[in-house]
Chains A and B, each alone.
Chain A
Amino acid sequence: MRRLLVSRAAQSAVVIALVATLAFVLIHLAPGDPFSTSLDDPRVGSEIRDRQRALFGYDRPLPEQYVRWVGNLARGELGYSHTLGSPVAEVLRDTVPHTLLLMGTALVLGLIGGVALGTWQASRRGSVAEHAAGAAILFALSVPEFLLALGALALFAIHLRWLPVSGMVDPAMHDSMGLVRRVADVVRHLALPAGTLALVTAAGVSRYQRTAVLAVLPEDFLRSARAKGARRSVVLVRHALRNALGPLIAICGLLLPALLGGAVVVERIFAWPGMGRMMVDAVGGRDYPLVLAGVLAGSVLVAVGGAAADVLASLADPRLRNRT
């Protein structure tokens, strides 16, 4: 167990370091810097641009910029965002928790839905209903998140007016609400973006779950459980589901990149104040420190989440422990 923990931690660290280097190189190799485009105003003279470049260190040679960037990273300094006019660390502190809330909710809802759906499909294998569900799942997996989000927005927020269109809180009323109503307010705003992502996640999870349960069903212990007279539902939930749990937790780690990618688009559509929206906005201003920090935060999230999922999976299922 400890060996797994150490090896997964080391692997994650290597991946994050590689991503940091790759991202830095890719971003800085491209021609131009923030001040060659964002200060297009002809009234801004070249000496002002040069001063700005010197201020943010863009006039230094690339290796020096890299060393300085890594050094700052090690001390937890992520640089200064020139488009937002505040330290990048502060921007991340304000946005990352919102993205985590969105992704976490979507992951939990998607898991519950996907497990239920996949288990049900496996138990009804070959039936007409199962085929229909399979087709619906393939359909859900083929619709890009932004289309699902636009559809949900049009139906529930604009046509039916059940849920708010955008944002995370009611801008006018939120501050004057009590705690319970504040939470309810956030939940109402969370419903559409998280629901969109949960739907996609559930579709993905159900495919794994169906295969996992189908793989467990022919095992001897299930046959003996049924032979001793356990009911079908008990066999499914107590025995089959429990044994499919380990791989399922590991799958969560694999789902994280897609979930984060989806969050970027969904945040943009529902004006959810998270990391993805912040990054899309930072692109226009070529705000390198902010974009780099976003890529890095995303990679840390995926690497740490993936490692945690692997460790949890082997806790839940001892059979997975000897694989790595």
Chain B
Amino acid sequence: MAPLFARRALRSTGARMAVGILALFVLCAVAAKQLAPYDPRVQPAADTGKNQPPSRAHPFGTDGASRDVLSRLIYGARVSLGVAGSSVLLAVTVGALVGALAGFAGGWVDAAAMRLVDAVLSVPRLLLLIALVASVGPLSIGGIILLLGLTGWPVTSRIVRAEVRTLREREYVHAARATGVPEWRILAAHVLPGVIPQLIVAATLALASVIPTEASLSYLGLGLRPPTPSWGNMILEGSDDPRTWWLVLFPGLAIVATVLSVNALGDRLREAIDARQYQRR
């Protein structure tokens, strides 16, 4: 049973469409092997040339190495969404831990953590990632997940910290403390569960920013390397020649549809949580 605020968020048509689109892409990612009409890595057959515009055999055309764009797009969903999802999981976990500790402990822990957050946020994420790639060299999938995760946590930690600071002063928390519940249990059992709705919103925000960031990094040639198909590096490979528009359009649409869905869903969730807070007052 989904919590009330999630059900309220899903009441709008836009949010349902967003969930549908995301589910479709996740299905592509999970069942890439079954859904893709061709092998994304090899030249499908001798009869198909390279850089063919969309046709019946290749609905999204073929690329410069005669590979089927639709198949690469489907496998690209696995790579792009896998990287995005894993790094968001990492970022949200780190952000929640830092934010909860800073907000709950207060004092110098809070001050130190928030200055660190300020510092990380003062460098544009892409610039920071460029510097990190310059340092560690070409990235593996694990490496890029790690870098995206480690540059993505500050926003989450700010959101969680703010929420923890308000929850910390609630009567039921004071009551728990008065009855002798240890501090760690207050944080784990009484404060953190209340943060979950904000954490879900933070995750949608993180997801909506990590997908374009990964794509941009790949587009700059600093992210995932070919031949691993990601939506970003597919665009890089196709963007040299304006005549091969299908090599840019379809991966581009996939990125935009995903980010748009995540953003729309995040907006509805935020509204639902706000409504819940208004009711509480």
Q: Judge whether A308 is part of the interface by a CB distance below 8 angstroms.
A: no
Shortest A22–chain B CB gap in Å is 6
Q: Give the Cβ gap from B113 to chain A, nearest Cβ, in Å.
A: 12
Known: A37-B137, A139-B260, A142-B208. A280 touches B215 (CB 8 A): no
Q: Do residues A261 and B264 form an inter-chain contact, with CB atoms below 8 A?
A: no
How would you classify the secondary structure of chain B's contact residues: helix, strand, loop or mixed?
helix
Q: Are the C-beta atoms of B125 and A283 separated by less than 8 Å?
A: no
Q: Contact: A298 with B216, CB < 8 Å? A: no
Q: Is the CB of A283 within 8 A of B134?
A: yes
* A residues 259-283 touching B (CB-CB < 8 Å): 260-261, 264-265, 268, 276, 279-280, 282-283
B235 part of interface (Cβ distance < 8 Å): yes
A107-154, CB < 8 A from B: 138-139, 141-147, 150, 154
Interface residues of B in 103-123 (CB under 8 A from A): 115-116, 118-123
- How many whole Å from B61's CB to the nearest CB in chain A? 16
Contact B115–A144 (Cβ < 8 Å):
no
Assess the A302–B123 pair: CB atoms within 8 A.
yes
| Stretch binding the partner chain, chosen from B1-9, B23-31, B38-46, B251-259 | B251-259
- CB of B134 within 8 A of CB of A264, answer no
B215 touches A15 (CB 8 A): no
| CB < 8 Å neighbour of B123 from A27, A154, A159, A299 | A299
Q: Could you jot down 14 A-B contacts, CB within 8 Å?
A: A15-B122, A30-B136, A138-B264, A141-B263, A146-B219, A146-B235, A159-B242, A261-B125, A283-B222, A286-B134, A288-B135, A294-B127, A295-B127, A302-B124
A145 contacts across to B, CB distance below 8 A? 212, 216
Least distance between A251 CB and chain B CB atoms (Å): 15
Complex Cα distance, B235 from A37, in Å, reads: 27
CB <8 Å contact, B130 and A27? no
A5-25: contact bitstring with B at CB < 8 Å (1 yes, 0 no)? 000000100111011001100
B interface, CB within 8 angstroms of A: 115-116, 118-128, 130-137, 208, 212, 215-216, 219-220, 222, 235, 239, 242, 245, 248, 252, 255-256, 259-260, 263-264, 267
For residue B120, which residue of chain A has the nearest CB? A22
Question: Which residues of B sit under 8 angstroms from A283, Cβ to Cβ?
Answer: 130, 133-134, 222
The residue in chain A whose Cβ has the minimal distance to the Cβ of B214 is A144
10 smallest CB-CB distances across A and B, nearest first, come from A261-B124, A144-B212, A18-B119, A30-B135, A142-B260, A261-B126, A142-B259, A283-B134, A27-B135, A30-B136
Task: Pick the residue among B130, B137, B222, B260 that contacts A32 (CB under 8 A).
Answer: B137
Selected from B116, B118, B127, B215, the residue in CB contact (under 8 A) with A144 is: B215
Closest to B222 in A: A283
B132 to chain A, nearest CB (A): 6
Q: Which of A14-67 contact B (CB under 8 A)?
A: 14-16, 18-19, 22-23, 26-32, 37
Are B134 and A291 within 8 A (Cβ)?
yes
Q: In the assembled complex, how far is the CB of residue B53 from the closest CB belonging to chain A, in whole angstroms?
A: 15
Q: Is the CB of A142 within 8 A of B263?
A: yes
A interface, CB within 8 angstroms of B: 11, 14-16, 18-19, 22-23, 26-32, 37, 138-139, 141-147, 150, 154, 158-159, 257-258, 260-261, 264-265, 268, 276, 279-280, 282-283, 286-288, 291-292, 294-295, 298-299, 302-303, 306
The answer, among A144, A257, A303, for a CB contact under 8 Å with B216, is A144
Q: Which one of A15, A27, A145, A276 has the highest number of Cβ atoms from chain B below 10 Å of its Cβ? A: A15
A29–B245 alpha-carbon span in the complex (Å): 42
User: Which residues from chain A contact B124 at a C-beta distance below 8 Å?
Assistant: 257-258, 260-261, 264, 298, 302
Interface of A is mostly: helix
Closest residue of A by beta carbon distance from B128: A295
Asked whether, in the complex, the Cβ of A22 is within 8 Å of the Cβ of B121, the reply is no
Let me know if B127 and A279 touch, CB within 8 A: yes
User: Which chain A residue shows the least CB distance to B220?
Assistant: A280
* Distance in angstroms between the alpha carbons of A258 and B155 in the assembled complex: 13
Is B132 within 8 A of A26, CB to CB?
yes
Cα distance A294–B116 in the bound complex, in angstroms: 19
Partner of A257, one of B116, B125, B134, B212: B125
B188 → chain A, closest Cβ, in Å? 30
How far, in angstroms, from A257 to B235 measured CA to CA in the complex? 24
Instruction: Give chain B nearest CB distance to A98 CB in angstroms.
Output: 16
Complex-state Cα separation, A16 to B115, whole angstroms? 10
Cα distance, A303 to B132, chains bound together (Å)? 20
Q: How far in angstroms is the closest Cβ of chain B from A261? A: 4
Select one of B131, B219, B255 contacting A265, CB under 8 A.
Answer: B219
The answer to whether B255 and A147 touch across the interface, beta carbons within 8 angstroms, is: yes
Please report the C-alpha to C-alpha distance between residue A228 and residue B104 in the assembled complex, in whole angstroms.
Answer: 50
Whether B119 contacts A154 by the Cβ 8 Å rule is: no
Provide the bound-state CA to CA distance between A261 and B123, in Å: 9
Query: Closest approach, in angstroms, between the C-beta of B199 and any C-beta of chain A?
Result: 22
Question: Do B220 and A154 have beta carbons less than 8 Å apart?
Answer: no
Complex CA–CA separation, A23 to B230 (angstroms)? 28
A15–B220 contact, CB under 8 A? no
- Bound-state CA distance A45–B128 (Å) is 33
A14 to B115, CA, bound (A): 8
Measured CA separation A18–B132 after assembly (Å): 16
Whether the Cβ atoms of B242 and A158 lie closer than 8 Å is: yes
Say which residue of B131, B255, B264 sits within 8 Å of A295 (CB atoms). B131
A138–B267 CB distance below 8 A: yes
Asked whether, in the complex, the Cβ of B131 is within 8 Å of the Cβ of A150, the reply is: no
